[in-house]
Structure 1
Amino acid sequence: MNINDREIITVKYTTEQNWIKNVPQSNWLCILVDNDRQRNYLDEVISKIINNDVCYVCTVGQSCEKTHDLMDEEIVFREVDIEKLYLPNHHIMTTWHTDFDEGIWFAIFAAHHEEVSIDKIVVLDMTDGNELNRIDKILTDLKVNR
């Protein structure tokens, strides 16, 4: 699906499959959907999306503020660590949105990065599929009403 000249990809996080293979390696924004996933799973996802050169992360869902804080903590940790863990050449922008629909709208229409042209958006569902119907409806409505 394409909206606002951006390819929209929905990826369901699962420990049974290699979900990261469906995620781009450049010029992408992640809408991270989390309703209270355990910390170890969030740590894995945050690490992998940074390693895949994400340029912008918008968190939505019941745990959006906590997930956003964990994302920022990992970025700062990588910036100051002596071992120089991987960070992309660009700054990673982060936002959190308590209004689910508004967060997705923001990511598609308003999110902008000074250094990277965002041409792909990955909606990464970490809710065991519980929010997939809601995500699909929002995306369809945004495409139709555009």
Structure 2
Amino acid sequence: MTFTVGEIVAERTIHLTRESLVRYAGASGDFNPIHYRDDVAASVGLPGVLAHGMLTMGLASSVVIAALDADTKITDYGVRFTRPVVVDPDAGADVSVLAKVGAVDETSARIDLTVKHADATVLVKAQLRVAI
């Protein structure tokens, strides 16, 4: 696969529901009640039930991975969490991911991710590096 700076690698919006959070809690073992109970989230000053940060991070990378050739090697992935994803009990939450090539050298390409929820960036410095 070849990469060109500025090229969009992938773009997708993922819909999360409260069921998504319960399933992720079961898979990850993270049963912190701020991820499924409104009363607990409110009692600690949160605006509502939050998606797990690692779920958001994993979903963002999965959008890119699905667009890459199967033999592509990911050599690094990192993000900084800036805002939570609040998942409404009825409407859920949409997380949008835009993956664009930010840099290319002889051995790798850096893919920059823009990850948003409700028009707010939820991950910054979200970058995935692949071997070429």
TM bucket (normalised to shorter chain) is under 0.3
Q: Which is bigger in relative contact order (C-alpha 8 A, separation at least 6)?
A: 1
Please say which structure displays the higher CA radius of gyration. Answer: 2
More helix by share: 1
TM-score, normalised by the number of residues in structure 2? 0.25
More strand by share: 2
TM-score, normalised by the number of residues in structure 1? 0.24
